[in-house]
Amino acid sequence: MPKKIKLFLNSEQKVSKLIFGVLMVGLAVLVAGNGAFAYFQRTASDSNYEYGYGYGGSYGYGYGYGYGADVSGYNDYGFYGADGKATALFAAQSGSSRLVVGYTTDYYAKNKVYYSATSAACSSLTSSVSQTAFQTGANSATISDLTCGTTYYYCVASEDAGGNTWYTSVANADTGACGGSGGGGGSVAPSTSDTIVSQTMAGAISSASGGSVVLTTSEGSKAEVVMPAGASTANLTVSVQSKSAASAEAAGTVGVAPTGVYRVGNLVFEFSAQDASTNQAVSQFSKDITLSFTYTDAQIAGLSEDSLQVYTWQNGAWAALTGVIDKVNNKITITVNHFSYFSIMGQKSATSTTITTATSTITKAINQMTVTELRAKIKEVLSLMINLLSQMIGQWQTQLQAMVHGQSAPAVLKTLDINLKYGSMGDAVKLLQTWLSQDKDIYPLGVINGTFGPATKAAVIKFQEKYASEILTPAGLINGNGLVGAGTRAKLNSLYGSQ
């Protein structure tokens, strides 16, 4: 008989006062079906419900509740079958100093990840990261402050509610390479020059239901895979990793960008998958999967957004894929049936950027432009002015109608309570623009029209980067992204909300 059951049955606790009528249903099924039984540990003395269940293998299930009284604070113990080890163990790089360890338990347990740079038995690995709450299903824990470019050994210890601990086998994984390089050929405007660090996000995707994994880079862009049910016959562990294109090219992992196109953000993304049961690599799928990539305005500076395409590395060359560009949300989406390396690339704008206006880019100094170029630019600026005047007239008409019909003026906003992004409109955007215009270095144009356009987005990015330690750093970002979320709103409200 397992040790924990002996402790339970032979202890000096007043077990006769526990009501086990319903629990015995589970135990009966357990005995009949030769399955497993679990009895959860009491968390405090007296007046606490106990929970137990039985599993009868091919014979069925049993479960129930009991009530403990007058036990004087003693603990009740239980056990979980013959093997409660976590399964589907994996580790993925997250930058150069972190590993994300994933695991699955099919019962509630407190899990602890042991790790060390020196190989040893699971319980003898010198460091650990603990999950204090009971978990079930697929979960993960992040190990931080590791040494870059180092092999680490890890395992998972799962403790059931009866205090029993089960250890997985010891596995190993490498942290990311130290440092990183960027700004290589084929990149117009790398986000962080020589500071691009490889980053990874991994997750479990079920064959039956499908799923998704999203990686957010420190540059503010995202890469996401969405896999439908049945795309693979196996349950998968899917990983999305961003890499410096220059580093990947130097290592011979991929080739340089094709002639005439340039990388967005100097990034390459590797999508990979493993069978969760066999750890065998899986790269082809029976159904199309969706990959989407977002980019920042800074990453496409000097490039024509209309020319953007996702390229995949196949048979020793980059091949362009047909995708859909969403200019409002800075996003490009493709469908594929395979995993490999992917990179967003585009062609240069007709000319390079030298002067930026509210919503357009002047590609040359005025005295260097031809008559044809000047006429085209004047036409573009006039079109923008007409659009702005149209918006202002519409707002004036709304206000006049309200006055004519005796309607009260709308309440004046004093704080930003909703998230805003490119394309948003309304009074909240006006308030945002009013606040941003108070700093001429951030929003020199100072237009307050209630429309979140390119100039407003550029001002938000400048604001985020000015207060990076309070807005970007807590979110794990380096560059502003132009999205007015909780962190940005909090800083704006703290500066201007009392005015």
pLDDT score at 268: 93
pTM of the model: 0.40
pLDDT score at 335: 94
Higher pLDDT, 133 or 127: 127
Q: How many Å apart are CA 445 and CA 439, to the nearest integer?
A: 10
- The CATH code that applies to domain 183-349 is 2.60.220.30
pLDDT score at 293: 96
Q: How many Å apart are CA 320 and CA 98, to the nearest integer?
A: 33
**Does pLDDT of 101 surpass 90?**
no
Q: Other C-beta atoms within 10 Å of 300: how many?
A: 21
**Does pLDDT of 345 surpass 90?**
yes
**Does pLDDT of 8 surpass 60?**
no
Q: Which CATH superfamily is domain 85-178 in?
A: Immunoglobulins (2.60.40.10)
Residues 6+ apart with CB under 8 A from 250: 181, 184
Range among 175-184, 196-205, 240-249, 261-270 rated most confident: 261-270
The model's pLDDT over 208-231, given as tens digits with 9 standing for 90+, comes to 999 999 988 877 889 999 999 999
Residue among 265, 239, 267 nearest 93 (CA): 239
Residues 6+ apart with CB under 8 A from 10: none
Higher pLDDT, 460 or 26: 460
Q: How many Å apart are CA 41 and CA 18, to the nearest integer?
A: 14
Amino acid identity, residue 104? T
**Does pLDDT of 442 surpass 90?**
yes
**Does pLDDT of 173 surpass 90?**
no
**Does pLDDT of 134 surpass 90?**
no
pLDDT score at 498: 67
In which band, very low, low, confident or very high, does the pLDDT at 179 lie, cut at 50, 70 and 90? low
The model's pLDDT over 386-434, given as tens digits with 9 standing for 90+, comes to 767 766 776 676 667 666 655 544 556 788 989 999 988 888 999 999 9
Q: How many Å apart are CA 154 and CA 136, to the nearest integer?
A: 20
Higher pLDDT, 185 or 308: 308
Q: How many Å apart are CA 201 and CA 153, to the nearest integer?
A: 19
pLDDT score at 399: 67
Higher pLDDT, 237 or 161: 237
In which band, very low, low, confident or very high, does the pLDDT at 376 lie, cut at 50, 70 and 90? confident
Residues 6+ apart with CB under 8 A from 57: 33, 34, 35
Higher pLDDT, 14 or 89: 89
Q: How many Å apart are CA 341 and CA 268, to the nearest integer?
A: 7
Q: How many Å apart are CA 319 and CA 312, to the nearest integer?
A: 5
pLDDT score at 165: 84
pLDDT score at 450: 87
Higher pLDDT, 177 or 147: 147
- 3-class secondary structure for 434-499? HHHCCCCCCCCCCCCCCECCHHHHHHHHHHHHHCHHHHCHHHCCCCCCCCECHHHHHHHHHHHCCC
**Does pLDDT of 317 surpass 80?**
yes
The model's pLDDT over 35-92, given as tens digits with 9 standing for 90+, comes to 333 433 333 333 333 333 333 333 333 333 333 333 333 333 333 344 578 888 888 7
pLDDT score at 350: 64
Structure tokens at 336: 């594929």
- The CATH code that applies to domain 427-496 is 1.10.101
Q: How many Å apart are CA 402 and CA 18, to the nearest integer?
A: 72
Domain boundaries, the chain: 3-68, 85-178, 183-349, 355-404, 427-496
Identify the weakest region by mean pLDDT among 176-180, 339-343, 374-378, 439-443: 176-180
Q: Mean per-residue pLDDT for 433-439?
A: 92
pLDDT score at 414: 84
Q: What is the DSSP string of 152-193?
A: EEEEEEEE-TTS-EEEPPPEEEEPPPSS-----TTBSS-SST
Q: Mean per-residue pLDDT for 337-362?
A: 67
pLDDT score at 228: 94
What is the distance of C-alpha 288 from the center of its chain? 22
pLDDT score at 52: 38
pLDDT score at 491: 93
